[in-house]
Structure 1
Amino acid sequence: MTKMLTPRLFADDEGVVRVGEGLLARSLPRDEWTHEAHLAATLYLLLRRPDLDLDRDLADIIRRYNASVGGVNSDTEGYHETITRAFLHGVRLFLAEADRSAPLHRLANELLLSPMGRRDWPLRFWSRERLFSVEARRRFVAPDLRTMP
């Protein structure tokens, strides 16, 4: 069983916007690119940036950001296709039931406290071995434990 970590929550909408736009502009400090920031940025982009096609663009957005802050996108670190796709699906699942009229930071915090916001959420569907394989990092691989909702 994975120890549940308490997520760092957002105090205001500006914090969520800062993360989302900082990702796009590649201006977000590397140490702020946390699990919470990944999910808040995805939420922000889905809700406030309809000009972007995240199914097409999110991988390159994250890869370019990683490279801009000195990160490496390789077989062992940086961008991970399957995890990104799993959480993109999870954020969409969350939004399908959420009150989209709520303040952005409240939505981000509710997401982070939901099952889809947990760091280990993908492990409900993928075995650790499959999810953390080089193949899953490079390209989307289907779940091997159960189908995603």
Structure 2
Amino acid sequence: MKRRVGSSEEEEENEELERDVKQMAEKLLQYRTTLPDHLRSTFTSVLTAQRPVLPPPSESALSGAPIPDAGGQVKSIEGLQDAEQDQEIAEKLQLLKDKISSNVSAMPIVLKRMKECISKIDKLDSYNGIIHPAFKRKKTS
């Protein structure tokens, strides 16, 4: 009768552990699906917080008309160059964001492949078969 009590306790413990494993698997799946978007939005908010606040370009600077009280035509050309540089920076930033999000979304696959490779290496380390002499280290005395 003690065996039945022990076995029922073990069964209950096993069931509880299985439930815990299922919950962890669900959490992992949820994190894997939401993490790339969460990281992308966090990265975007951090970058926007660090980006300096620039005054909005006036229409007169973009049209080529001189800016009053700013030095004439020279300032309007500088404004155009700044706008072009800002556009280039924005494009580079978007490219960086896309690369980071693709890298983050590929991370679970990379981790899985790494674990598989590590397990293969561990199996090879524990292998007691015949190893060709060319692959053995030379013992130095």
TM-score normalized with structure 1 length: 0.20
Point out the structure with the larger helix share: 2
Give the structure with higher Rg (CA).
2
Tell me: higher relative CO, structure 1 or 2? Use CA pairs within 8 A at least 6 residues apart: 1
